[in-house]
Amino acid sequence: MSVTRRQLMWATAGIGAAGVLAACGGAKPGAGSTAPSSGAAGEQPRSGGTLKIGALGRASAVTRDPHGTQSNESDYLIISLLYDTLTIPGDTTNTAPRLAASWKPSEDLRTWRFTIADGATFHDGTPVTAEDVVWSLKRLRNTPSGKSRLPGIQPEGIQAEDARTVVLVSDYPNAELPLLTRLTTFVLKKDTKDDALAGAPGTGPFKLDWYRDGNARLVRNDRWYGGKPPLDAVEVRIFESPQAMANALLAGQIDVASNVGAVAARTAEARKDVQILRRPNDMAMPVVMRTADGPFADARVREALRLAVDRDAMVKQVLSGYGTVANDILGTGDPVYAKDVPQRRRDLDKARQLLAEAGFDTGRTYDLITTEDIAGLAESATLFATQVREAGVKINVVKQDSKVFWDATWLKGQLYTSYWGTNDSVVFFASKTMLSDAGQNEAGWNEPAFDEAYRKAMGTADATERGKLLHQLQEIEYAGSGYLLWGMADGIDLAGSAVRGLPTLPGYGRVQLEKTWLAR
């Protein structure tokens, strides 16, 4: 299992080199979107208080390594509050400054220079240097999934130019390189030993007070370069199920139940003392069909399955209406998302015809492998199986333990469910999951035309022209990839009535709690 699974992933697309530079000018670290106050108009943030927040995770999968495999959302939340990435999602631009105050590309779009924010220090008071960042990025790149975390960047392409400037050199022109720094580029002090990670100082808005069995208390970092956070402390509690977390919120044991799912939201709708925060386009739960070999390698078979799905029913039944119909293109929240591509509709007659033309064996029963990692995932597999049976395809849903799934099925299975906790970038998914040499090519897709379109788009500095090329990229994906993306789930948080300023951005943006405060 990779660090980009079950995490709050982000990405960016549609911002050209000029747009990226404009986004950085004068922006303040942590400038993200937050929920409007539910209190009186003109209510001002107040300082103080401890926010108790629940997050999903399993005690058996706890990790303290910022660059390690983080299968628990609770771990990722804790790490994101302690350690800063170079950039983060923004409310007016897809990429906003964080530990990197600004960045600038070379003319050929292969070399990018990132400047460290003024006043950035570690929790022990020592200044952050370019050497710290370089050491951290090289450590990240050298992890087992480092290629997918920093695609196109080799360890030798990460260098310090001076005390505050980090240089990243790409293997190819990449107008969207800053998007690579929005997920796991957590910065540690140079030469931090693996056995010292548990207490290693970070640069984030909160410092570690204590950590116990996946639960943690973090206290405000008064010297944070992004400004003093309102909260005195954040306590993160780990929960193994969304329902247990929702029950704790309804009982007043925690202030926020994060990423709790549609079922819990329906339960809380009658409670006037509970806020329901929805983040559209937050979670993608596609069915992955292996294209390299096996029964789904024929593009006609994949198209037949896409046509056999009743997408409206999937959204209504699996997501309880907390979501939207999708069109088999990942990155629906991207400004350059191809909204004009015709929406696929259910057509059972056409599906049966395509299966017959492909010589698909409808006498067999095919396993669809899924997990119960997130709310609705296994349910989506069951409903999918019911729907495609009407086209003559018999599916047996197999629920696997999470560890077995990620070790044995993910990237290898013929037919399985996947999920991604971000969806704001076409480029993100192209670079990480669909290029022929992508480190996380879930469907084993090898399409030279797609690869060529991607490279051409990334080598185009003009944002308008690049948008046109990315449209072509999406048309190729729509026609032949191994993804069946039937819908997009809303991200849902439940919060007590006193909570203010929770982030409303999807994916990684929702763990930025430096503006959150309590009206009590």
Segments in 321-462 forming alpha helices (H): 348-358, 377-388, 402-404, 426-429, 448-458
Measured CA distances, 335 to 15, 221, 229, 300, 330 (Å):
9, 35, 31, 30, 13
Per-domain boundaries in the chain: 17-38+45-255+498-518, 282-489
Q: What's 282-489's CATH class?
A: alpha beta
- Is the distance from CB of 492 to CB of 242 less than 8 angstroms? no
- Positions in the chain whose pLDDT score sits under 50: 1-27, 30-39
Superfamily of domain 17-38+45-255+498-518: Periplasmic binding protein-like II (3.40.190.10)
| CB-based contacts of 513, cutoff 8 Å, min separation 6 | 51, 53, 81, 205, 206, 229, 231, 234, 502, 503
8 dihedral zone (left: phi>0; alpha: psi -120 to 50; beta) = beta
Q: What element of type H or E holds 369?
A: strand 365-370
Task: Write the pLDDT tens digit of every residue in 297-319.
Answer: 999 999 999 999 999 999 999 99
**260 vs 241: CA distance, rounded Å:** 9
- What is the predicted pLDDT for the residue at 123? 98
- What is the predicted pLDDT for the residue at 40? 52
- What is the predicted pLDDT for the residue at 29? 57
Local structure of residue 375 (DSSP, 8 states): T
- What is the predicted pLDDT for the residue at 43? 85
- What is the predicted pLDDT for the residue at 60? 85
The pTM of the full predicted model, rounded to 2 decimals, is 0.85
Residue 123: both structure tokens together = 């929790």
- What is the predicted pLDDT for the residue at 13? 28
- What is the predicted pLDDT for the residue at 36? 45
125 dihedral zone (left: phi>0; alpha: psi -120 to 50; beta) = left
